[in-house]
Amino acid sequence: MTVRPETLAPSAVGLRPVGRFGFLRTQRAASIGLILPALAYLALMTQAPFVLTLWYSFRQWVLTSPDIPHKWVGLSNYTYELTQDPIFRQAIYNTLELTAAIVGGSLLLGLAFALLLNRSFPLRGVARSLMIAPFFVMPTVNAVVQKNLFLNPIFGLLNWIMTSVGFARIDWLAVHPKLSIIEMAVWQWAPFMMLILLAGLQGIPDDVREAARIDGAGPFTEFRRITIPLLGPYFQLAVLLGMIYILQLFAEIFVATQGGPGTATTTIPYYIYQTISQANDVGSSSAQGVLAIIFSSIIAALLLRLLLRTFRSGVTA
């Protein structure tokens, strides 16, 4: 078995040393043959549509008026969305506000869950399973159940508890629509954050904690000086992945508020859905889609850089 030196990769982050599986190295052509179908399929199904979205975004194109030619209108869809359309600006703001609140809320709750679970106690496995379960619940089920069984102004469980202890009845989805959406999504996403942070907590070596205790650190000092700094990369990973998913939040809004009342919970994904399925406006919705892609790429790139920097410089307090 010959190992051609030019195929030796510089060992990249997260990759095992190349030499270990050197004996398995097949012909380069065979190797490409194994990987190419997957890459071509991914490009066709996930990247080609983005290119088409970009193409459509320069056109005036309304599905309900097929006789009007799909005229090339340059950047006018973009100038309309960015300077004139008040709902799109509202949607950007709503998306940012909801994403920040949901990521922040589920991170804090997930940290609390993880700290509670990171001890040995009877029935730990059961407690962990119960805490994880919300993450698997279909988002439409989450929204439909919480909207009716829990948040309904008359028959909802939450209002029964509130009025029983003397508070006023609240129509949560009408009066606090954002808070309701945040609550639904935090319930769903806290277990996700918990899983990542729990893995981080379990990776902190016992002798580090031991050393801190010997040096006289109490539980709070230990938490602040050992646990939080050593969890740093895990926090960043949780925030990065959480943001990528939560920016796309759609089912909860579709089911629970339909973007309302008014445009109070209209986010970018929901507004794009409205523009294409209700206004049938291909040009405008495509421009919104391109802006959403740019928007997400900026956030993903910023966070990825943050992540890489942390891993490169080591963990600091």
Partner 1 sequence: MSAIEVKAPRQGRAVAGRLGLNLLTYVVAFLAFFPILWTLLTAFKTEANAAAIPPVIWFHATLDQFRAVLDSNYLSYFENSAIIAGGSTLLALLLGIPAAYSLAFNPSKYTPKVLSWVLSTKMLPAVGALIPLIIIYKRVGLFDSRFGMILLYAAFNLPLVIWMMRSFFADLPHEILEAATVDGAGFFRIVTLIVIPLTAPGLAATILLSTIFSWNEFLMAVNLTSANSGTLPVFISGFMTSEGLFWAKMSAASTMAVAPVIIAGWLAQRSLVRGLTFGAVK
Chain residues 95-134 in contact with partner 1, contact rule CB under 8 A = 112-113, 116-117, 119, 121-123, 126-134
What whole-number distance in Å separates Cα of residue 171 and Cα of residue 154?
8
Burial letters 138-154, b for 16+ CB under 10 A, else e: ebeebbeebbeebbbee
CB of 229 to partner 1, least distance (A): 18
Contacts with partner 1 by CB under 8 A: the residue count is 112
- Hey, what are 74's tokens? 């340059």
Q: Which of residues 283-312 bind partner 1 (CB under 8 A)?
A: 285-286, 289-290, 292-293, 296-297, 300
The yes or no reply on residue 221 touching partner 1 (CB under 8 A) is no
What whole-number distance in Å separates Cα of residue 61 and Cα of residue 17?
53
In degrees, rounded to 5, the angle at the alpha carbon of residue 102 between the alpha carbons of residues 143 and 106 is: 100
CB of 21 to partner 1, least distance (A): 5
Q: Which one of 2, 5, 12, 74 is in contact with partner 1 (CB under 8 A)?
A: 12
What whole-number distance in Å separates Cα of residue 58 and Cα of residue 70?
9
The yes or no reply on residue 72 touching partner 1 (CB under 8 A) is no
CB of 213 to partner 1, least distance (A): 13
From the list 78-86, 139-147, 207-215, 223-231, the region that binds partner 1 by CB under 8 A is 139-147
CB of 111 to partner 1, least distance (A): 12
Q: What are phi and psi of 59, to 5 degrees?
A: -120, 155
Q: Which one of 58, 88, 189, 192 is in contact with partner 1 (CB under 8 A)?
A: 192
The yes or no reply on residue 80 touching partner 1 (CB under 8 A) is no
CB of 129 to partner 1, least distance (A): 5
The yes or no reply on residue 164 touching partner 1 (CB under 8 A) is yes
Residue among 100, 111, 115 at smallest CA distance from 192: 111
The yes or no reply on residue 149 touching partner 1 (CB under 8 A) is yes
Angle of helix 177-202 versus helix 86-117 axis, rounded to 10: 40
The yes or no reply on residue 204 touching partner 1 (CB under 8 A) is no
From the list 84-92, 96-104, 204-212, 239-247, the region that binds partner 1 by CB under 8 A is 239-247
Q: Which residues contact 304 (CB under 8 A, 6 or more apart)?
A: 240
How buried is residue 245: exposed, middle or buried, by Cβ count under 10 Å (0-12/13-18/19+)?
Answer: middle
236 vs 263 by CB, closer to partner 1: 236
Tell me, what DSSP letter sits at residue 26? Answer: -
Q: What are phi and psi of 314, to 5 degrees?
A: 80, 175
Q: What is the largest CA-CA distance in the chain?
A: 80
CB of 75 to partner 1, least distance (A): 18
